[in-house]
Structure 1
Amino acid sequence: MPLNPEVEGLLAAMAEAGAPPTAESPVPLARAATEAFGEMQGEAEEVANVENRTVPGPDGAIPVRIYTPATDGPRSAIIYYHGGGWVIGDLETVDKPCRTLANRTGSVVISVDYRLAPEHAAPAAFDDCYAATVWVADNAADLGIDPAKIVVSGDSAGGNLAAAVSLAARDRKGPQIAGQALIYPVTNYDWSSPSLEENGDGYLLTRSSMQWFWAHYLGAADPTNNPYVVPARAESFADLPPAYVGTCEFDPLRDEGEAYAGALRDAGVEVTAKRYDGMVHGVFWLQGAVPSAKVLMDDVVDFVHGVTK
């Protein structure tokens, strides 16, 4: 399929603006540039209650933002881990998508502001996300949540973290996860896939920026055999919760996401996998500028409804 015209126009505008490539940017500049994504997400929806608070983490308090819609409890829950290569992104980056998720699913959405690399290398981000997930399950009654209806979700690096939390919840016998919604997830540490060759430059996320993200996340150690850092390295994919795996045609990470969906399916996991033709990595953050990408939101909402009914 050709590149979606809305995406093509956005990429042209971004190129004309002349922002430096992520891989050539110091970390503070890359983080500051992320603020521009908020302007491309459309209007923020009103949610009945939005609360910022902190929850206990393995190395100090973890900031979270809790979106509670105007629905009767106990509700399902979505624990959301933002993307950004474990280096950039925060609660503000995904504020608008989380508001929409809360309103459209009727779920309490808990967005997790996990520690970022390079200040905190792997597996710090995973450790925070798992701890926040345990806290949600342990405090389900106070949050108005049904603990049997907790979905973990995230985009890109957040999809990596959602997959990792699902693996850890299985391995550690809890908490119970009803589903994992993985939006163009990072699942492997492998530079040989055809999609990396085909889409490694010119489609928002590049091969060089992915290498930059991984280098910051891994730090001086080499935890790539840790399945909570590289989910594709897990010894088994059996007994994991149902999964939605969304991939984009013009995404360097397309093949690893689809391979992960295949590994889950081969292990007997219920999988909903979909490739979004004409789309690029990052469009879940860009639904104001790329209205066609709203189908990703539609599909995530449908998945959540399906696993929490």
Structure 2
Amino acid sequence: MGTLARVLFIPVICAVMGYYLYTPLPDGLRQKSRIQLFYAKHKISSLLISMGVKLGFGSGIELARRYQHYTMVSPLNDENITVTNTTFSGIPVMIFTPNTVSSKSPAIVYFHGGGWMFLSSGTKSHFTNNLYRKSQINVLNTYSPYIITSFSYRLSPEHPFPAAFDDCVTATVHVLQNGHKFGVDSDNVGVAGDSAGGNLAAAVALRLSDEKESRLPKLRFQIIIYSVLQAWDFKLPSYTHNEITLFPSSVMIKFILPYLGEVATDENIAVCLSNNHLTPALKKSKFTKFVDQSLLPPQFRRTPPKIDDVLNTTLAKRLETLIINPYAFPLMAKDLSRLPPAFVLTCQHDLTRDDALMYVERLRKAGIDVQHKHVTDAVHDFFLRAPNNDFTYDVHLETLSDLKVYANKYYK
């Protein structure tokens, strides 16, 4: 290649790469450059995974999981914490125990995000470690800490609903019944999770609150961080006004369908995007009031877009009972009055925003004490970033501080 050709070729390649790596983002985001950097890194990894699939190294899911394992799992070095890998009722768990733990300490049971398809307690161990370190109670320079347990529940598509939910319920019950064996005060346990993990935390809280005759200790709280709580309406304002390139509505549906045991074909995704995945009976049922814009604060309401009523009967029939199953989608629960207090975090620029806003309103109407934090200058997954790395968001650290105050409020 001649000198002139190289001079012309290199700028063109740089321009193409810059165009490919650039993600349009809404105005008003704090630390916008860091978000752009994270999205660029994600696009590069996605490109490498796609190349690996074409070269026959495995499926996209397999390669993505391998990539996450090699890039996100590393030894945890903290002289104040002991990290134990074990199992609860056969479910892999990581226990973060302070070395100064008392005989009975409060605990948070944490469920990781990842669309029910990716990540694990191992890939999010640094995040969980920082959640632990940032949530201590410091009294007279001594720690009065609590333990955090993080579970690796079974993932879709290999294990669709209710596998992950069942694992999370089983593991939480194990903590409530056997906490004394690893220093946990079973009367002081709360559940928490982000994204799909928040869905599971809300579902576990609902399931345990339904145990009317149970002798299990009651959960002290639920912490729900930007979570998927319904699959009824994909035309809510948060879905139609937050189509960020990296995480559009179609990607969310690619996670939801496998979780429900369905294949995320282009046709099935299109059906869901147009809200034609609901049977006529469901559209006329009492469940319509559980996902309704009247539950949103006035400033978030929008005129619903017109939808072509072209039903995919086969898919709708298969999804009919799953869409309204409250353990799959807690917003569909008829009765929320027995749930523990809730800390609910929503993001302005997030597809799941309206799910959680409706959950907040329904909890309040049910008489549940709710603390709602709405973040206006961040996007979905900001809480995944571990502190002290290039992708840390200030709002992440602020939220950790909020969670510390909140948890301590409800521990006895």
TM-score (norm 2): 0.68
Equivalents in 2 of 1:207, 1:12: separation in Å?
A: 22
Of 388, 393, 402 in structure 2, the residue corresponding to residue 291 of structure 1 is 393
Going from structure 1 to structure 2, the CA distance change for 1:13 and 1:243 (only over 3 Å counts) comes to closer
Going from structure 1 to structure 2, the CA distance change for 1:207 and 1:143 (only over 3 Å counts) comes to same
Which string of whole-angstrom CA distances, capped at 9 and with x for unpartnered residues, describes residues 32-55 of structure 1? 34458749x9x9655421110112
- Residue in 2 that maps onto 1:155: 194
Secondary structure at the aligned position of 2:323 is classed as: coil
Q: Is the contact between residue 346 and residue 375 of structure 2 (CA under 8 Å) also seen in structure 1?
A: yes
Q: Is the contact between residue 47 and residue 99 of structure 1 (CA under 8 Å) also seen in structure 2?
A: no
Letter in 2 for 1:144: G
Of 248, 259, 264 in structure 2, the residue corresponding to residue 217 of structure 1 is 259
Matched, 1:10 2:32: no
Letter in 1 for 2:374: R
* Larger Cα-atom Rg: 2
Of 192, 195, 198 in structure 1, the residue corresponding to residue 238 of structure 2 is 195
Deviating beyond 4 angstroms after TM superposition, the runs of 4 or more aligned structure 1 residues are 43-47
Going from structure 1 to structure 2, the CA distance change for 1:114 and 1:102 (only over 3 Å counts) comes to same
Of 86, 107, 131 in structure 1, the residue corresponding to residue 146 of structure 2 is 107
In structure 2, stretches of 5+ residues that fail to align are 1-25, 51-58, 137-144, 263-317
Equivalents in 2 of 1:97, 1:216: separation in Å?
A: 26
Of 98, 101, 106 in structure 2, the residue corresponding to residue 76 of structure 1 is 106
Equivalents in 1 of 2:228, 2:80: separation in Å?
A: 30
Number of residue pairs aligned between Structure 1 and Structure 2: 302
Of 354, 357, 360 in structure 2, the residue corresponding to residue 255 of structure 1 is 354
Which string of whole-angstrom CA distances, capped at 9 and with x for unpartnered residues, describes residues 155-191 of structure 1? 0000000000000001124542000011111111120
Going from structure 1 to structure 2, the CA distance change for 1:233 and 1:283 (only over 3 Å counts) comes to same
TM-score (norm 1): 0.90
Going from structure 1 to structure 2, the CA distance change for 1:194 and 1:44 (only over 3 Å counts) comes to farther
- Identical amino acids, percent of aligned pairs: 35
- Residue in 2 that maps onto 1:49: 82
- Residue in 2 that maps onto 1:63: 92
Secondary structure at the aligned position of 1:294 is classed as: helix
Per the TM alignment, residue 5 of structure 1 is displaced from its structure 2 partner at its CA by 3.9
Return 139-148 or 153-162, whichever deviates more: 139-148
Return 248-257 or 153-162, whichever deviates more: 248-257
Question: Which structure ranks higher in relative contact order (CA pairs < 8 Å, sequence separation ≥ 6)?
Answer: 1
Going from structure 1 to structure 2, the CA distance change for 1:5 and 1:35 (only over 3 Å counts) comes to farther
Letter in 2 for 1:279: A
Letter in 2 for 1:291: Y
- Residue in 1 that maps onto 2:411: 308
Q: Is the contact between residue 83 and residue 158 of structure 1 (CA under 8 Å) also seen in structure 2?
A: yes
